[in-house]
Amino acid sequence: MAKDDMLDGSIESLAAALRAGKVTATGLAERAIENHASRNEALHAYKTWEPEALRAQAAVADAAFAADLDFGPLQGIPVSVKDLYGVSGYPTFAGTPKPLAGKWQVEGPVVQALRRGLAPVTGKTHTVEFAFGGVGTNVHWGAPRNPWDAEKHRAPGGSSSGAGVSLQTGTALVALGSDTAGSVRIPASVTGCVGVKTSMHRWSTAGIVPLSPSLDTAGVLTRSAADAAVAFAVIDPLTDAHPLAFLAALRDVGLSGLRVGLCDWFFEDCDPGVGEAVRDALDALAPHGVRVSAVEFPEIAACHDVFRQGGLAAPEFAAFINGEMRDWKATLDPNVAGRFERMEAIPAIDYLARRERLQALSAAAGDRMADIDVLVAPTVPITPPDIDSLTDGKAYHTANMAMLRNTAPGNLLRLCAVTIPAGLDKAGMPVGLQIMAPFGEDERALTVACAFEAVLGDSRSRLGTPPLCRD
């Protein structure tokens, strides 16, 4: 495998090449370091980048290979981590202007699973401050640049704002993110990647700075659905199969007879080319036996009304900031601080009423999902905005709500979801196709994503290479 192609391969192919001695973990690490040097100044994916730590971790992976010790398919594969996760030896800023207390460097089960698999950590990627936002901006550290527009600094998606960018720059093959209202799926969608939002409580959120404990989920971003399946199986505590066997099992499932539901609500007010890209992808899948039907889903609009009032995240976030993080309140991003008075003024009776309302809507949505296998929609209904257009609070709020519109229902209704690239919109920016499955059916969402990808192609074959990542 040529050096220039090292990090363009799949996890499956690189795992085989590592075990055959065709590449080394050290070689992959050096290529990631070279790519960071040539691309990160422009694209700004990382808050913390530690090349010597990366080299040391890669050397451990190579030593294990030399001793015939195999710790799984991510051994030696570079992984980036959102700067909301605790990683030993790395500060955690959570997008704030100063590092958080040492307790937030403690590794939780998700990071520990990668450590056990000897996956070298490339660094900590940028996040929206305290993960509270879907656009990807950060007043303290700046916003990573979406690599698909060579002219404008377009939003990378938030809150895992550096995650998708890190994958496209060729510095990582897996990126850890978190998703409270879309914060894995949004950056994955607008950067042309795959993003997995796990079912609530499927993966532990210990070791991750919280935003809304009622809604927070951990997840991964990758460049392909196949890579996402492998990474999922490495981390997932309920998956007993070897990750590559897990992927093979998913690939054995065909599309014939798959019942796909489409709800018009998700297609309302889409920017030019967004809805069309998703429908075109579904048209390409139809000859393979996919059965698409329109579905009524009133729970989606109902939960969106709750979301527009602040949902559960706003009061839970306010409680966290006014409690443990009170020393960080004075330096909050103005786009957050400007709404904080309203957030902390939500009465407890309203918060409890929202919880009860969402529980009822979630139960009704679960019943409705019994009539279909998956619900499909555009992941993000708008073209990612130009950062320069968001200088005033009203413009930012409008863009933020639009970015989160199609993903937040998945969290509020307790669904799991995977987004895959569908095409490009009229502005030449990536469009994500969101696959939503019932609570606890994460394997189903991944199976459908892999089956769709087998027909449609992965990110590179369907979308090409981002203009700012072409050598």
Write out the catalytic residue numbers: 82, 159, 183
> Sign of the CA dihedral 295, 296, 297, 302?
positive
Biggest alpha carbon–alpha carbon distance for the chain: 62
| Environment class of 99 (CB within 10 Å of its CB; exposed 0-12, middle 13-18, buried 19+) | middle
Exposure string (b/e) for 321-355, b if CB count within 10 Å is 16 or more? beeebeebeeebbebbbebbeebeebeeeebeebe
> Sign of the CA dihedral 199, 204, 209, 213?
positive
Residue 149: C-alpha distances to residues 106, 209, 384, 459, 465 (Å):
37, 31, 10, 16, 11
